[in-house]
Every structure is written in C-alpha cells, then in structure tokens.
Structure 1
Amino acid sequence: MIKKELKKRLRVGLILLFAILLIADVYMLYRKIALPEVQVVKTTLYEYMNKMDIHYKVSLKPNNLFAQTTQEEGQVYLTNLVDTITATFSYAFSGKSQIDIQGDYEIIAVLEGSSIQNNKRVSIWKKQVVLVPKTSFEKKDTQFNLTKDVNLNLEQYRAFANAIKEEAKVDADVSLTTAMNVNLDSMTEYGRIQDQVASSMFLPLKTSYFEITNMGIGDQPGAIENVKQVPVDQKFSVIGLALLGFILLAGLVCLILLTKEIPEDPYLKKLKMIMKQFSNRMVALDSDIIQRGDNYQVQSVDDLVKLSDELGKPILYRTFADLKKITTFYVFDEKCTYYFDLT
C-alpha cells in the first residue's frame, strides 16, 4: 500500500491535533452522558397582589394667611402654621382564588435626629412611638382591605426633639417617619404565603417649611411558584459528539497508517547538524569566496574547527537560498586557505 508522504512537522502536528480534539470530544461526550444538564422550570400556582397607599390632610392653626382650615396633599406646608396631620394608611390584598387571609399590622412613628458627616447622613438618635399596636386580621376571601387613620401632633414631636437637644447637648436635623408594617401569613392549597410589606410617610421637623414624602406605596405583586429541575434533552448533542469522535478517530488512524514522513536528505541533515553545532564560529557571506595562497583540504569539519581555534579565524561559507549549494567551508590564514568540502 502506497503511503502519502508528509513533512515530519506537518504529520506530527496533524496527529497531535487530531489526538487532542479526540480526547476533548470523548471528555465532553462523557459529561453529556454521566452528568446530564438540567434546566429550572418555574410554574406559577397562585398569583396575588399587595397594595399599599397613604393619604393625608394637614390641619392648620388659626392664621392670617389661609382662609381654609386645612391643606390638601402634595403642597408645601409652613411649619409654624401646621396644627396636626391626619394620615390614612391603607392595605389591600387580592388573589386569584379564595384563601384564608391572615396576618397582622402595626403603625409606628419614628422620631430621628441625624447629621451629615463625610457627605453621608448618620443617625444620632431615634425614638419610636407605637401609634397602632400590632393587630391581627383574618378573612376567608379573594380580597382583603384595611384602612387606618392616625393623627400626628407635630408640636408634641418638636417638643420632644427640643428636650433631647437640651438634655444631650446635640443639635441634629430632626425628622418624623410614620409607617404601617403589614405581615402576611396565609395558607393556600398551593402552599404558604409569607410577605412583609410597608409604607411610610416622611417629613422634616426643624425647617420653617416642609413637604411630605410617601414611600412604599403602590402595587407589590407576589406568587407561589413550583420550581422543578427538568433534564435537558441531549440526544442530538450526544449523537453529534459521537459522530465527531468517530470522524476524528478515523482521521487519526488514517494519519498514522496511511501517511509517512518524507525522508530528510542525508546531505541537508548533515549540513544542518554542522551549522547548528558550530554556528558561533561561522560567518555566512553573500558573495563568492576567493581562495588565496596555497589551498589545503582537511578531512573533516572537526579539523577545520581546530584550525579556526588555533589561528583565531572564523569559518566562512557562501550562503544560498538553496541549502544544497552550500558545499564548502573555509578558514583563511595570511598565506594559505584551509577548506572542507562536505560533498
């Protein structure tokens, strides 16, 4: 059988490439079979919605500026003219089917003193006041609504803040945050719902006028989900990797059995060995070398190297693109030429 000749480097490189690719393919095939991939599939069993809202009305002290006794939401309020703020907190739950809705709620006010340090607001002191203690609720339905009013007397909170200032000798920015906290803990046929939602109303107390900021209001959806890990169908991947492995194996076998290295020319092999071994003693010239004086041929390149060392002269040769044309190496003395003919 005639084998196709390939250069040694090309043949070895192809064999190594096919072998590495085959090993990688076998490894990936093993992982596909022994360690199957899974994907997470989520199925929504029960959807529900929590909704928080805050409305408020500001009652005014008798004054010469406003004819009315109250101000509506979203306005700027003059601190010295404000008497009380009536805040209405509401919570609503709605689900797709009837469940046993259970939980509790509370409304608290947090008076806080803080200051700016290194461009960051730092809390200095806090005082919490329970406006509506924790209260349970329960209803079997698809919906549940809860509304609660609280009255905030700003003079009382400012008086407390001033007392802290005098007692602790700390001058801080004072704010009042009023919040409704709702804990939902309900059972459905699909599982348990445990949610914590909150809404709050923030206002500063040490300014001559202020605005009220509501936070945590709006719809807050939730769901009970069934999470499963489903094996990924890897049939086509396994078939593809197996086919690729067969092709790589066949290619590797063909490279080993049906190809052979192109035998290196003995002359070039010997020339390359000489040039590699004695490269530090040799000088390549682009022009023809003219012999001078008496010419002496030595029997081996080792003899020429000895003469080069003894005379302190380099070994010269004429370089060619075709290495086969490099045949003779020279060492020149003052009156004679020593040379070695590789042919």
Structure 2
Amino acid sequence: MKKIIKDNRKKTKDVHTLEQDKKDDFKLTKNTRFFLYVLGGILCLVSAILLFINIRPHTRTEEVVVNSYNITTGASYRVHLKENNVFEEEFLEEGRVYPSAITDFINIDFKSELAMTNALSISGDYIIRAVLEGYQTGKDEEKVPVYEKIYPIIEGRVIESVTSSSSINESLSIDRAAYRNYAQEIENALGGETGKDFYVELSGKYIVDGEEKPFSYRIDIPINNDKFYEIRKAEPVEDSGDIKESNLVNVMPAFSSYAIFILLLFVAAGILVFVRFFTANMEGKELEQKKLSELMRKYGSRMVCIENLPDISQKSEIRVKSITDLIELADEIREPVLYIEGEKELPKDGKIYILSKDYIYFFESKV
C-alpha cells in the first residue's frame, strides 16, 4: 500500500513538473510558430546548399610568370669635322654646339639589347632610315605636314636562336649637306619653302617565342642653314614586362568564403530548436487576450469604454460577423462603438457593442 502511494506521488510530481515546464515556455500563436518553422527550415536548407557549394575545392585559371624581358634601345653619335685651324680633335663628342661650316658628317652608333630571364626562341628584324619632313606652321604654332620623304639606310635581321639575350649594333654616317640638298630639290618641285625636320631612326621588333616586342629610337638632326646647330636625342628607351602562361590550378576555399553559411546554418538550427523545445501554442484565455489586444491596437481609437450597459432587455440582439462589419455599421447608423472594460483593460467577455433605438449589435471575439 505504501509503495502504491509513493508511486502516485511520483507521478503527480512528474505531471506538475511537466506543467511547470509548459508554463515556462514562450507562448506563440500557431501561425507564428508555423512561420518560424518554415523560416528556419528554408534558411537551414539554403545555408546547407550554399555551404556545400562553397566548401568544395574548385579550379581556376591562374596566370603564372614564366619569363621576363627587358629591351633597351639607344644611340650615341660624334660629329666628324673637316680640316680646320680651330679644333685640334677630329671628332666633337655629344652635347655640344656644332659649326655647320666645318661639319663633315655625323657618325651614329645605334644599339638595341634584349635580355631574358630564361632562354627562349628569339628572332627579329629592324630598319634604320632617314626621314625628311616638310611642314608649315598653322594656328597655335602647330606643325601642319606638307610632305614626308623616307630614305632607307640599313635593313637587318636577328637570326633565330634559343638564347636569353640578343642585341643589334649598327653604325652609319650621315651627311647633313646631302639631305639639305634633298630638301631643297623637294621645295623647288613644290614651288615654295617649308620648315624642315630631319631625323634618323632605328625601329624594328624582336620575336620572343612567337610574340612580337617592338622597339624604336631616333636622333633629330637640324639641316637648316643656321651657322651653328645642336643634335637632339632622348634617353635610351626601355621596355620591360613579363611573359605569362595560363594554368588551371586547384584552389581550396578560404574559411572566410563560407563562414557566413555556417553561421546561417547555426542560426537556422537555433530557430528550429527554439520553436520546438522552448515555445508552445497560445491557447484558451491567453490566445483570446492576444487577439483582443491586436484588435484594440487596430480599432481601439474608434471605441468608447463604458462602465456598464443600460437595460437592453427590450432590444433584440444581433450578432455581427466581424469587427470591420461592426465599425462600418457604426459609421452608417452614426452610433458609437462601445465596450465594457474587463481584465487587462480589454473588452469584457470579448464583446463589443453598438446600441441603436431598436437593436443591440455586438461582435464577440472567439478563439
């Protein structure tokens, strides 16, 4: 007998504990719980799919530097003088002012060098030419071309070979007087004098493993009738770069690229666990009060709270289907919407009224 009583007490305690746990749960409406279930499920599914896609190794095209090149092109010159009793030296070096009267010719040494990090197939071609240009000065002192005459001097080739370096070295002599005479002949044919530019240029290309690398360099030489002249040349021209190959490489994704999906997965799981184990359906009185609270938030400003109803025994009662119908009816018959305050300042028994001369219209909120 004692054992039976003891077992009954244990069962009573278990039931009490279960009821207490239920009281501690967050109370939500069925619609809210259903929405949270759907939200958690969708978020969980999407996060899992995106995590699976982003966590997998993938391949990508990556450009790898396999070689580097550097091309340097420049020139040096010296002015050879005619016999004279002013200068003892035979040549005048760069950067001076030269007298036209005793200039014999100009000696130019062109040089172009190609240097590679690793040996590759190298070939190429080049040309040295003298270019005579005639022009007139237009608006804003701009040169307007009149003619251009090109005089090829040297053509050459770079013999193909597998090497890490190659160079071009060419020397030539330029007679200023000869090209001044060419310009005079052209002007005689044109019937007028023009401004004149004259330069000697080395241009060409290296072919590195099938890819062309162009280069050029020029020296400007005045051929006018001035008593003295200067030769203009720029600093050596450099061109450098990398030769790349495209390779497919396997890439392991970085944690940062999929960390957000792990976080979303935990959030989704947290939502599902919370709804399943820490919430309960709102029922009975709680659900009724919840619905009444929502109704009052929406329509409370249209209602009047009274302490009690007058004698309505002589009036017929008419139940209205919805609160919106009741509000519209009140507007139509121009009567106030009434309620008696009950628990938590909500309509007593969930009823809301309109009193007219012959009828009492009411809406009753039910779970």
Task: Give the superposed CA RMSD.
Answer: 5.9
Bigger CA drift: 104-113 or 220-229? Answer: 220-229
Aligned to 1:29, what secondary structure does the other structure show? Answer: helix
Please name the residue that 2:206 is paired with. 184
Please name the residue that 1:257 is paired with. 276
Q: What displacement does 1:36 show?
A: 1.2
Q: Does 1:229 align with 2:251?
A: no
Please name the residue that 2:215 is paired with. 198
Q: What displacement does 1:180 show?
A: 1.8
Q: What displacement does 1:56 show?
A: 1.6
Please name the residue that 1:214 is paired with. 234
Aligned to 1:73, what secondary structure does the other structure show? Answer: coil
1:126 to 125, 148, 169: 148
**1:162-208 Cα distance to aligned partner (Å, 9 max, x none):** 6666766898764334322343347xxxxx36443423124375987
Give distance in 2, aligned partners of 1:70 and 1:81: 11
Higher helix residue share: 2
Task: For structure 1, list consecutive stretches of 5 or more residues without a partner in the other structure.
Answer: 187-191
2:62 to 16, 25, 40: 40
Q: What displacement does 1:135 show?
A: 3.9
Please name the residue that 1:91 is paired with. 112
2:329 to 292, 303, 306: 306
Q: Is the 8 A contact 2:133 2:197 kept in 1?
A: yes
Please name the residue that 2:5 is paired with. none
Give distance in 1, aligned partners of 2:217 and 2:144: 20
Structure 1 pair 274–243 and aligned structure 2 pair: CA distance change class (3 A): closer
2:75 to 34, 54, 60: 54
1:20 to 43, 51, 57: 43
Structure 1 pair 156–261 and aligned structure 2 pair: CA distance change class (3 A): farther
Q: What is the aligned length? A: 325
Bigger CA drift: 121-130 or 82-91? Answer: 121-130
Structure 1 pair 265–133 and aligned structure 2 pair: CA distance change class (3 A): same
**1:258-309 Cα distance to aligned partner (Å, 9 max, x none):** 3445456424524644774x69xx6589xx9899xx9989866656753543
Bigger CA drift: 232-241 or 123-132? Answer: 232-241
* TM-score normalised to structure 1 length: 0.61
Structure 1 pair 246–198 and aligned structure 2 pair: CA distance change class (3 A): closer
Structure 1 pair 14–159 and aligned structure 2 pair: CA distance change class (3 A): farther
**1:86-115 Cα distance to aligned partner (Å, 9 max, x none):** 321012345567777643332123334567
Letter in 1 for 2:75: I
Higher Rg of the two aligned structures:
2
Higher strand residue share: 1
1:103 to 109, 124, 128: 124
Please name the residue that 2:9 is paired with. none
Give distance in 2, aligned partners of 1:317 and 1:81: 123
Please name the residue that 1:189 is paired with. none
Q: Does 1:175 align with 2:197?
A: yes
Q: Is the 8 A contact 2:63 2:244 kept in 1?
A: no
